[in-house]
């Protein structure tokens, strides 16, 4: 069972997270080899305007980083945990203050988090996996790795499932993001193309420049299409 510490996040609901991500169009993905650097990178991205950032549990001291980011995040910004696989992972993340979880696959964490009302961005690649993840209670599908088929594959997967919200993750850079949005992705998830080496202690100023570029691109797309959903 999930720890009652989930009451740390009373304002975060699956519907609320989904609506926010639809509007923002961007999710930051921090994965590095230094928890302190990961926290600094996440907070720097938030300072530039990223509202949704996950910190992968494969990052050393990831839970401490989540606690740090949760305590210092600007108003309106949410921190989640990535690579959340087990029921125990869900409990640890919520105890650390994580506000949503992200999985790379059809993991037991999906049903565990969903049953506790915790938003879940569930990893899936095939139509069958996407359907199964939603049946388990996923808030949205993280199409991963999206680069295996590109925007054309996303469009093909969406055709039989027009109501499933997809977030394209994996190999999505500044030159690819618009194609995924045009193919129907509600957002793109950005790891290396955004953070580079910043989450392992690299240059934050270059990462901030990339963040502004992605934010500008998203704003241009929304302005051009006249919608954020």
- Please tell me whether residue 48 adopts helix, strand or coil conformation: helix
pLDDT value at 6 more than 50: no
Q: Which of 40, 68, 112, 142 is catalytic?
A: 142
Under a CB-based contact definition with an 8 Å cutoff, are residues 56 and 33 in contact? no
As a dihedral over the C-alpha atoms of residue 40, residue 31, residue 66, residue 5, rounded to 10 degrees, the angle is 170
Give CA–CA dist 187/167, Å, rounded: 5
* pLDDT tens-place string over residues 45-66: 999 999 999 999 999 999 999 9
Specify the residue for token string 């069972």.
1
Give CA–CA dist 28/55, Å, rounded: 9
pLDDT at position 22: 97
What are the boundaries of each domain within the chain?
A: 11-220
pLDDT at position 227: 67
* pLDDT tens-place string over residues 100-119: 999 999 999 999 999 999 99
* pLDDT tens-place string over residues 143-163: 999 999 999 999 999 999 999
Q: Which of 40, 54, 68, 129 is catalytic?
A: 54
Active site residue 54: yes
Which H or E element spans position 63?
helix 62-72
How many C-beta neighbours within 10 Å does residue 163 have? Answer: 6
**Contacts with 145 (C-beta within 8 Å, 6 or more apart), sequence order:** 125, 169, 170, 171
Give CA–CA dist 201/64, Å, rounded: 16
Q: What's the CATH number for 11-220?
A: 3.20.20.70
**pTM of the predicted structure, to 2 decimals:** 0.93
> What are the percentages of helix, strand and coil residues in the chain, rounded to 5?
50, 15, 35
Question: How open is the CA angle 37-77-66, to the nearest 5 degrees?
Answer: 40
pLDDT bin (cut points 50, 70, 90) of residue 229 is low
Under a CB-based contact definition with an 8 Å cutoff, are residues 126 and 148 in contact? no
Question: Residue 145 corresponds to which tokens in the numbers above?
Answer: 């790795």
Active site residue 206: no
């Amino acid at each position: 069972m999930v720890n009652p510490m989930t009451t740390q996040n009373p304002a975060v609901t699956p519907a609320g997270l989904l609506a926010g991500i639809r509007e923002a169009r961007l999710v930051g993905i921090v994965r590095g080899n230094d928890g302190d650097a990961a926290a600094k990178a996440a907070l720097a991205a938030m300072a530039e305007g990223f509202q949704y950032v996950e910190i992968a549990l494969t990052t050393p001291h990831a839970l401490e980083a989540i606690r740090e980011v949760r305590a210092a995040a600007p108003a309106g910004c949410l921190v989640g945990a990535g690579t959340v696989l087990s029921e125990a992972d869900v409990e640890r993340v919520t105890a650390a203050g994580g506000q949503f979880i992200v999985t790379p696959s059809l993991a037991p964490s999906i049903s565990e988090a969903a049953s506790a009302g915790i938003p879940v961005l569930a990893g899936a690649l095939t139509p069958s996996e996407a359907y199964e993840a939603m049946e388990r209670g996923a808030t949205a599908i993280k199409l991963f790795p999206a680069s295996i088929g590109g925007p054309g594959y996303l469009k093909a997967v969406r055709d039989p499932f027009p109501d499933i919200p997809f977030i394209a993750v994996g190999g999505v850079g500044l030159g690819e993001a618009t194609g995924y949005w045009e193919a129907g992705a509600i957002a793109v998830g950005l790891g290396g193309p955004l953070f580079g080496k910043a989450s392992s202690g690299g240059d934050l100023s270059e990462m901030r420049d990339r963040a502004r570029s992605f934010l500008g691109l998203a704003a241009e797309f929304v302005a051009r299409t006249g919608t954020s959903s």
